[in-house]
Amino acid sequence: MNRHVVTLEELGGRELAQICAYALDAPRDVLQGQGVALVFEQPSLRTRSSSALAVRSLGGWPMFLTDDEIGLDQRESVEDVGRTLAEYYAFCALRVRDHGVFGRLVETVGDRLGVVNLLSRAAHPTQAVADVLTMAEHFTSGRVEDLAGLRVAYVGDVTNVARSLAVALRLLGADVVLGAPDAYQLGEGGPEDPRRIAHGSLRLVGSAREAVAGAHVVYTDSWISMGLEAERGERLEALRDFQVSEDLLAGADPAAVVMHCLPAHRGEEVDPQVLDTPRSLVWRQVAHRVSAMRGALRWMKETS
């Protein structure tokens, strides 16, 4: 049976811990000359770079394919793209506009091709793996299993990154607070819903100050995700009280750290200085993207 990494909710806590363990292990040549298709319908710096490095470090070879080249459901159907990729590659990892692409690929070629989600509107699981590795490195000597009880506040637009992060943290027993205006709070249902996780805790609040009170980690993401550029004006207005600033951080735990998946928009979701202070872990998050992807691929390879 082939394994896939589409949402962390589908995987569960034991599998997440296994992926993290593989991420922390020394690279091995488990891909032995196998190809991994890296498909991007949207821009990327970190995900694209870290995925290529991860594939190479496992002995495989990455092949980048862009929307212009493939045209999912434009040039040909998602199903025919999948059938073609399955003839050439062992895995395909995709950044897509429509999360439904993953289900269609898994159904069509999931028995022959391992599928990884490199970001959809619903989830960003490999980012969340890197984030829990980063938190564990800082707080628990690298042990993700010991993150239970960590208090993590996410403030801003509750979307793909926040959903996977909250699922990952709850699976590991951490306590999550999501602070956002009603219109940008956690949507009901859909894939990667942290409400459905039985461990840790989840609280939704409408105030950034309430969200960060006593938090060990304060996390944010862009207010204008890819594809939502037309909503820029209304989003800047609605979210302006949710900027992560030194003033907001004064209400968090005195040793609180700041995290952001990047790209950052200084002056919007973060004040211009916060990410450049010693309490920022963003560059460790960037570094852990490689080990997270390596962990995901190795878990898929070795447990299939």
- Positions touching ligand CP (CB under 6 A) are 44-47, 119, 127, 261-263
Selection from ligand CP, ligand NVA, none that 45 binds (CB < 5 to 8 A by kind) is ligand CP
- For residue 156, is it left (φ>0), alpha (ψ between -120 and 50) or beta? left
Selection from ligand NVA, ligand CP, none that 134 binds (CB < 5 to 8 A by kind) is none
SS3 of 49-77: the string is HHHHHHHHHCCCEEEEEEHHHHCECCCEC
Structural contact between residues 127 and 289, judged by C-beta atoms closer than 8 angstroms: yes
Report the C-alpha gap between 53 and 26 in whole angstroms.
Answer: 14
24-32, 101-109, 156-164, 177-185 -> range binding ligand NVA (CB under 6 A): 156-164
17-25, 159-167, 233-241, 244-252 -> range binding ligand NVA (CB under 6 A): 159-167
24 vs 226, which CB is nearer to ligand NVA? 226
Report the C-alpha gap between 112 and 109 in whole angstroms.
Answer: 5
By CB under 6 A, residue 226 contacts ligand NVA: yes
Choose which of 50, 51, 160, 164 interacts with ligand NVA (CB under 6 A). Answer: 160
Q: Which of 149, 139, 51 is nearest to 94 (CA)?
A: 51
Cβ 33 to ligand NVA, closest distance in Å?
Answer: 31
Number of residues counted as binding ligand NVA (CB under 6 A):
8
Q: What is the dihedral of CA 135, 167, 20, 14, to 10 degrees?
A: 130
Report the C-alpha gap between 188 and 196 in whole angstroms.
Answer: 11
By CB under 6 A, residue 285 contacts ligand NVA: no
Binding site for ligand NVA (CB under 6 A): 159-161, 221-222, 225-226, 261
